[in-house]
Amino acid sequence: MAMADSNSVSHSGNALNLESVRDSLIRQEDTIVFSLIERARYPVNSRLYNQTLGLVPGFSRSLVHFIVKETEAIQAKAGRYENPEENPFFPNGLPPSVVPTHKYPQVLHPAAASININEHIWDMYFNQLLPLFVAEGDDGNYASTAASDLNCLQALSRRIHYGKYVAEVKFREAPQDYEPLIRAKDRDALMNLLTFKNVEEMVKKRVAKKATVFGQEVTLGNNSSGNYKIDPLIVSHLYAEWVMPLTKLVEVEYLLRRLD
């Protein structure tokens, strides 16, 4: 594969290349693992997710839906979604930013803004992931639990949508390989071309290790209990089954629009 001209684009002050993009993904692993550890402090608290309880007067969805929507509204006013790395879970009816606009480097093709798979991420997180790592029970801490859920969702969403940057870099490094497949709308061939199995294997091992290191009981003696705040196997499963496949889905969706 051809080398990118590392001076060709500026991204957060750094050159945008496959290495810098992968460094960002590695750093984001820390955020994801910590956010899961924080959520695991609370039991499942399923009333938070129940649409039929009517916990919020005049609002027909679940309490977590209410909290995420309202939190996103205030974050939108503060400019969060001006950053092309951020994608809201409830984009409809978000208020505009009221703060001065920051000039984010325009790295992505404008069609990137139309890619938002948060509905999918929402469904995966609440229906598949959460039941795997939280304890049964209800401690009534709904607002704090929902804030933890939102941190997990935002960290996962940022990582998965970062596939747009990954795809942009891969395209720039080898347009001659990608262009014919994009024109042919050949999803499978694009998926093959952008997949690096060896990198995926390293990611799975590294996130499991991070869960082991970040989630161990820290004591002043050297009596490690062997109890982890989140099961390292669940974290590598999360990456293998959802995070990496969804990142690659974003990469394919982005590439399909790259020549528009």
Ligand X SMILES: C=C(O[C@@H]1C=C(C(=O)O)C=C[C@H]1O)C(=O)O
Contacting residues toward ligand X, per CB under 6 A:
22, 25, 166, 194-196, 199-200, 203, 244, 247-248
For ligand X, which is the closer residue by CB, 200 or 231? 200
Distance CA 29, CA 128 (A): 19
Cα 250 to Cα 102, 107, 113, 254, distances in angstroms:
25, 16, 12, 6
Kindly state the DSSP code that residue 216 receives in the 8-state scheme.
B
Work out how close the CB of 75 gets to ligand X at its nearest, in angstroms, rounded to a whole number: 25
Work out how close the CB of 246 gets to ligand X at its nearest, in angstroms, rounded to a whole number: 8
For ligand X, which is the closer residue by CB, 108 or 146? 108
Work out how close the CB of 60 gets to ligand X at its nearest, in angstroms, rounded to a whole number: 36
Work out how close the CB of 244 gets to ligand X at its nearest, in angstroms, rounded to a whole number: 4
Cα 255 to Cα 107, 149, 213, distances in angstroms:
14, 30, 36
Total count of residues recorded for the chain: 260
Rounded to 5°, the CA angle 101-104-106 comes to 130
For ligand X, which is the closer residue by CB, 64 or 169? 169
Which residue(s) pair with 236 in the sheet?
none
Helices of type H across the chain? 18-39, 63-77, 118-123, 130-133, 142-161, 163-173, 175-183, 187-194, 197-214, 232-238, 244-257
For ligand X, which is the closer residue by CB, 29 or 72? 29
Work out how close the CB of 166 gets to ligand X at its nearest, in angstroms, rounded to a whole number: 4
Work out how close the CB of 58 gets to ligand X at its nearest, in angstroms, rounded to a whole number: 41
Distance CA 123, CA 103 (A): 33
For ligand X, which is the closer residue by CB, 25 or 129? 25
For ligand X, which is the closer residue by CB, 27 or 143? 27
Work out how close the CB of 231 gets to ligand X at its nearest, in angstroms, rounded to a whole number: 20
For ligand X, which is the closer residue by CB, 143 or 199? 199
Distance CA 29, CA 102 (A): 26
